[in-house]
Amino acid sequence: MTDGTCKKAILAVSFGTSVNETREKTIDVIEDSIRRAYPDYKLYRAWTSKMIIRKILKRDGIKIPTVTEAMAQMVIDGIKEVVVQPTHIINGIENDLMKEDVLAYQSQMDSIRFGDPLLTTTQDNVDSIHALLTDFHDLPDDEVLVFMGHGTTHYANSVYAALDYTFKDMGHKNIFLGTVEAYPSMESLMKQVKAYQPRKVHLAPFMVVAGDHAMNDMAGDDPDSWRYQFEQAGFPVECHLKGLGEYEGIRQLYLKHVQAAMKN
């Protein structure tokens, strides 16, 4: 590299999605907002789901780098300072593994800084709720909104229950948050919603992208889908297929985390 060439980079790390339409509205837009906010940094992309990476390569012929591949490319490109910003929701398994992969290149970098996932502090929880309520601020008292998170076996999964409590603590008694794969589960959500006795149920993903989970586990026709289960319980259901990355306030929160990492 010649002097004057950019030696600083931001690596945007996402789980990934095989649904191009939601990727364009979420991951791409988050990355574009980072790129515009930090024009002096070169932006790199990496995804952590090797299954999705393989699927896109086979289907579309597009190679999306893993974290290891992105870091190796940065070394080749002469990058010396990197800020890693995940679009992950919580400090879970994916985030832990991502950090391990990045830190394997520590000796080849002058500095590596990590931005926080979306929900890291109590203030992050509050800011995220404010961002989401731009769409749902006029939800009638006799209707409920149920967000679907992913969930994990990692101890960080407790963030989902904390966020559900925070909705209620902020006065939104008719907003619930559950997960596909952990707690709060659909079983506990169903009990709470039945106790509330709403006229209607709204479903929305609490995931960066409105991908396979949103389209199938949440809004699908399968008897296991949340929509089907709530309808079977007698509730009219409306699904909102909008990923978190589509909310301006959520994107601003990621940018805030990039900024904080740069100051560390």
Active-site amino acid positions? 150
Bridge-partner residues for 97, per DSSP?
none
Decide: 205 and 241 in contact? Cβ < 8 Å. Answer: yes
In terms of Cβ atoms closer than 10 Å to its own Cβ (0-12, 13-18, 19+), residue 223 is exposed
Question: Residue 252: helix, strand or coil by DSSP?
Answer: helix
Cis upstream peptide for 140 (omega within 30°): no
Q: What are phi and psi of 69, to 5 degrees?
A: -65, -40
HEC profile of 123-177: HHHHHHHHHHHHHHCCCCCCEEEEEEECCCCCHHHHHHHHHHHHHHHCCCCCEEE
Q: How many CB atoms lie within 10 A of CB 9?
A: 23
Would you call 13 helix, strand, or coil by DSSP? strand
| Amino acid, single-letter form, for residue 87 | T
For 223-240, give the DSSP string. TTSHHHHHHHTT--EEE-
